[in-house]
Amino acid sequence: MKKKCHFIVLLSLFIVFTSCHNDLDTIKKVSFKPTDPDERTTNVHMIETDSGYAKIELRAKLSETYHKPTFHVKFKEGIEITLYNQMGEIESKLTSLFGEIFQETGEMIFKDSVRLQNLSESQVLETEELHWNQNTQAIFTDKNVIVHSKDGGKFYGDGIRTSLDFKKYEFIHPKGKFKLN
């Protein structure tokens, strides 16, 4: 009887230890697609500071990080970036329904309902695609652009170049009629 009990216990242990083996490669093959992101984060809120003052604030509902073929982050459910001046006051805001950051080149691309506001100048830029080069701090596009000025004027063009603070800008191909004082 003792031998039978030992045999049953050993058999039970053998079954338990051999049946609970998970192979990560097998699990990945079943549950992972090559197009899936490496990481997903919800309700992202990041602040970059300099000397104790906020410099850039980023908010997004969903962030997806990809490491291949290049290291980049996608914001598929909208992105809001707030830029602060040296005194820590809000200078401008950039919003869009889609954003993408390429870590290696420092380029950021914003698409779909892109809006850049300069709060001190009370002007707004609207376009469907905007590029921001973090290395040169240049913001530009070759798409249709509308700029709303604080006096109610609207300026149109194909393409624009501006700086991060959106105080001065240059249309690449201005369009339409407008009156200058």
pLDDT in tens, 77-112: 999 999 998 888 899 999 999 999 998 898 999 999
Choice among 52-56, 140-144, 146-150 with the minimum mean pLDDT: 52-56
Does residue 151 fall inside a structural domain?
A: yes
Q: If pLDDT is split at 50, 70 and 90, which confidence band does 123 have?
A: very high
Is residue 141 within 8 A of residue 159, CB to CB? The reply is: yes
Q: Does the pLDDT value for residue 159 go beyond 90?
A: yes
Does residue 52 fall inside a structural domain?
A: yes
3-state secondary structure the chain: CHHHHHHHHHHHHHHHHHHCCCCHHHHHHHHCCCCCCCEEEEEEEEEEEECCEEEEEEEEEEEEEECCCCCEEEECCCEEEEEECCCCCEEEEEEECEEEEECCCCEEEEEEEEEEEECCCCEEEEEEEEEEECCCCEEEEEEEEEEECCCCCEEEEEEEEEECCCCCEEEEEEECCCCCC
> How far is the C-alpha of 66 from the C-alpha of 37, rounded, in Å?
5
Does residue 140 fall inside a structural domain?
A: yes
Does residue 17 fall inside a structural domain?
A: no
Residue 55 belongs to domain spanning: 31-175
**Amino acid, res. 141:** T
CATH number of domain containing 41: 2.60.450.10
Q: How many domains does the chain have?
A: 1
Does residue 117 fall inside a structural domain?
A: yes
**CB < 8 Å & 24+ apart, contacts of 158-162:** 160/125, 160/127, 162/116, 162/125, 162/138
- Closest among 128, 168, 123 to 147, alpha carbons compared: 123
Per the model's pLDDT, the better-predicted residue between 145 and 16 turns out to be 145
Does residue 5 fall inside a structural domain?
A: no
Burial class (CB in 10 A: 0-12, 13-18, 19+), 89: exposed
What is the model's pLDDT at position 49?
Answer: 86
Does residue 4 fall inside a structural domain?
A: no
> How far is the C-alpha of 54 from the C-alpha of 50, rounded, in Å?
6
Does residue 55 fall inside a structural domain?
A: yes
